[in-house]
């Protein structure tokens, strides 16, 4: 049974230019001790999806119009949990993309880590500060006893990211959402952060939802992958399915645009032509069809269903329909 299960999630933003359909029926799940990676271009709805689960969508202009998000079977999008206060930081925690702007510059690092412990666990200030120091030590911050009293501007980028992780895991959440946790970090620090997340996951049996553009990061730590495009999950499967048995043209395009260091694999990168659709006026059919080299007439007007292309591997693409022209299917599968 999945620990966190999101089904048919729709999120809209009513802004001056009209109604933006940011998330259009996204569904995904993650189990204890496993990592789900959500990948896709900027603006495809990855961050909005997880922020809506945590009650971080500002209303107005945003609103969840449909769908459920069940944590241990309880819908956390409805009723008393709709604002996220009961779960945010306690059962579900989030590492934000930019720690420099996400941390409060007027509070010490220790005070910010201690705050969820005071709010959700009832710790005294002294006990919470002691625990904050222990968490900094756990995330390999040197000289944690003095660092706990410092402000965000006194930390380097890598140390800020570690402080964000310390804050996120303070209440030992069941689900950790990591939104681009290695953005703007050098390769060495990236590796250390990823190793730290994996180590913490093993110790606490956390489920991790990883949002990233970096397929290399996905290959390193993800069990399952959800590929998102134009507010929809267009392919979902295991990491091996996504990398070795890609079933959606968008996933194939992402892989073709990714450099490789394999010997003997010299080739030109193939960028995906065109731009994502305007979600002020979402396309009636497949959102990827204007950019897809295999698009057919049905793709433009009729939204595709999820086709099963393997055990727990789904692709939202008409190319997998039994009536797909054989010559088109053969070209794609080649």
Query: Per residue in 73-128, pLDDT tens?
Result: 888 886 444 455 667 767 888 888 777 788 899 999 999 999 989 988 889 999 99
Report the chain's C-alpha Rg in angstroms.
21
For 127-159, give the DSSP string: HHHHHHHHHHHHTT-TTHHHHTTS-GGGS-HHH
Q: How many Å apart are CA 262 and CA 283, to the nearest integer?
A: 38
> Are the C-beta atoms of 132 and 148 separated by less than 8 Å?
yes
**Pair 135, 113: CB distance under 8 Å:** yes
DSSP lists the bridge partners of residue 71 as: 4, 74
> What DSSP designation does 280 have?
G
Q: Considering Cα of 146, then 96, then 66, then 70, what sign does the dihedral take?
A: negative
Residues 119-176 have pLDDT tens digits of: 888 899 999 999 999 999 988 888 999 999 999 999 988 888 889 888 988 888 889 9
> 232: helix, coil or strand?
strand
31 neighbors 207 (Cβ within 8 angstroms): yes
What confidence category does residue 263 fall into, taking pLDDT thresholds of 50, 70 and 90? Answer: low
Query: Are 316 and 235 in contact, with CB atoms under 8 Å apart?
Result: yes
pTM score > 0.75 for this model?
yes
């Amino acid at each position: 049974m999945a620990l966190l299960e999101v089904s048919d999630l729709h999120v809209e933003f009513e802004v001056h230019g009209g109604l933006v359909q940011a998330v259009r029926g996204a569904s995904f799940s993650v189990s204890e001790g496993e990592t789900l990676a959500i990948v896709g271009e900027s603006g495809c709805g990855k961050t909005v999806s997880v922020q809506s689960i945590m009650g971080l969508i500002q209303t107005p202009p945003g609103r969840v119009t449909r769908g459920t998000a069940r944590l241990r079977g309880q819908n956390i999008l409805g009723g008393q949990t709709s604002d996220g206060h009961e779960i945010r930081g306690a059962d579900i925690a989030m590492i934000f993309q930019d720690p420099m702007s996400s941390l409060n510059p007027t509070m010490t690092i220790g005070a910010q880590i201690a705050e969820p412990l005071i709010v959700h666990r009832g710790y005294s200030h002294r006990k919470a500060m002691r625990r904050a120091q222990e968490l900094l030590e756990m995330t390999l911050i040197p000289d944690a006893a003095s660092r706990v009293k410092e402000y965000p501007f006194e930390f380097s980028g890598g140390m800020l990211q570690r402080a964000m992780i310390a804050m996120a895991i303070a209440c030992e959440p069941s689900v950790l959402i990591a939104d681009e946790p290695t953005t703007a970090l050098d390769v060495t620090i990236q590796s250390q952060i990823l190793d730290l997340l994996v180590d913490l996951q093993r110790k606490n049996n956390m489920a991790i939802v990883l949002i990233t553009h970096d397929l290399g990061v996905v290959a390193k730590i993800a069990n399952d992958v959800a590929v998102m495009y134009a507010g929809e999950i267009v392919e979902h499967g295991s990491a091996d399915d996504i990398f070795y048995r890609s079933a959606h043209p968008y996933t194939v395009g992402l892989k073709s645009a990714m450099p490789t260091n394999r010997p003997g694999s010299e080739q030109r990168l193939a960028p995906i032509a065109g731009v994502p659709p305007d979600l002020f006026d979402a396309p009636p059919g497949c959102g990827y069809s204007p950019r897809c080299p295999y698009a057919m007439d049905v793709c433009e007007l009729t939204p595709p269903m999820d086709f099963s292309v393997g055990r727990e591997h789904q692709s939202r693409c008409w190319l997998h329909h039994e009536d797909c022209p054989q010559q088109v299917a053969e070209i794609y599968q080649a």
